């Protein structure tokens, strides 16, 4: 089983109970929304999510839990849409509780996952998309060395407004 160790956290396989915990703990940030809310999903949805992770692990994606060093699951990080022919994928991440956001956990988790992508999987390009209004994600991607490659104008509609999606990428030779 894979375990990627960082300073304050580690990445490891998500178990069914971890997926349930993330669903149970999830808090939507209504003061700084960065994505449309997904309201009304039951705990059974967490079981479907776990089943999807297991079904597609290492073929379509590599999704790992983000755990504090004491073993508490706080989020997940994924290399998604893996394209083995073109040696590329996209990076996605989420944290359940608002209190665990903005503490540098995202940068640590992403750095561990990017190291795995470039050094162990032989990938050469990782993309990441975020809304223009998601300042935290943008700062994290900048600090990790991602390059802004484009803007999809008014690509996402939520909260009664249209929002630009920013498209970033990081190449293996740019990873530091």
Query: 79-86: long-range contacts (C-beta < 8 A, 24 or more apart)?
Result: 79/113, 79/116, 79/117, 79/121, 79/123, 79/126, 82/121, 82/123, 86/125
Domain ranges within the chain, ordered by starting residue: 3-32+40-174
Per-residue pLDDT of the chain (176 residues; tens, 9 = 90+): 779 999 999 999 999 999 999 999 998 888 777 776 766 677 888 999 999 999 999 999 999 999 999 999 999 999 999 999 999 999 999 999 999 998 999 999 999 999 999 999 999 999 999 999 999 899 999 999 999 999 999 999 988 889 999 999 999 999 97
What pLDDT score does 38 carry? 67
Whole-angstrom distance, CA of residue 91 vs CA of residue 64 = 12
Domain 3-32+40-174 has what CATH class?
Answer: alpha beta
Whole-angstrom distance, CA of residue 119 vs CA of residue 20 = 31
pTM metric for this prediction? 0.93
């Amino acid at each position: 089983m894979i375990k990627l160790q960082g300073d304050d956290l580690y990445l490891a396989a998500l178990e069914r109970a971890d997926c349930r915990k993330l669903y149970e703990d999830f808090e939507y940030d209504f003061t700084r929304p960065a994505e449309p809310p997904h309201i009304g999903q039951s705990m059974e949805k967490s079981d479907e999510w776990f089943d999807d992770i297991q079904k597609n692990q290492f073929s379509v994606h590599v999704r790992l839990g983000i755990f504090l060093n004491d073993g508490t699951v706080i989020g997940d990080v994924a290399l998604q849409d893996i394209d083995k022919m073109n040696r590329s994928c996209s990076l996605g991440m989420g944290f359940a509780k608002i209190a665990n956001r903005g503490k540098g956990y995202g940068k640590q988790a992403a750095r561990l996952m990017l190291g795995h992508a470039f050094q162990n999987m032989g990938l050469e390009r990782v993309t990441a998309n975020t809304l223009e209004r998601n300042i935290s994600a943008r700062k994290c991607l900048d600090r990790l060395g991602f390059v802004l490659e484009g803007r999809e104008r008014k690509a996402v509609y939520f909260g009664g407004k249209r929002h630009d999606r920013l498209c970033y990428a990081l190449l293996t030779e740019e990873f530091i």
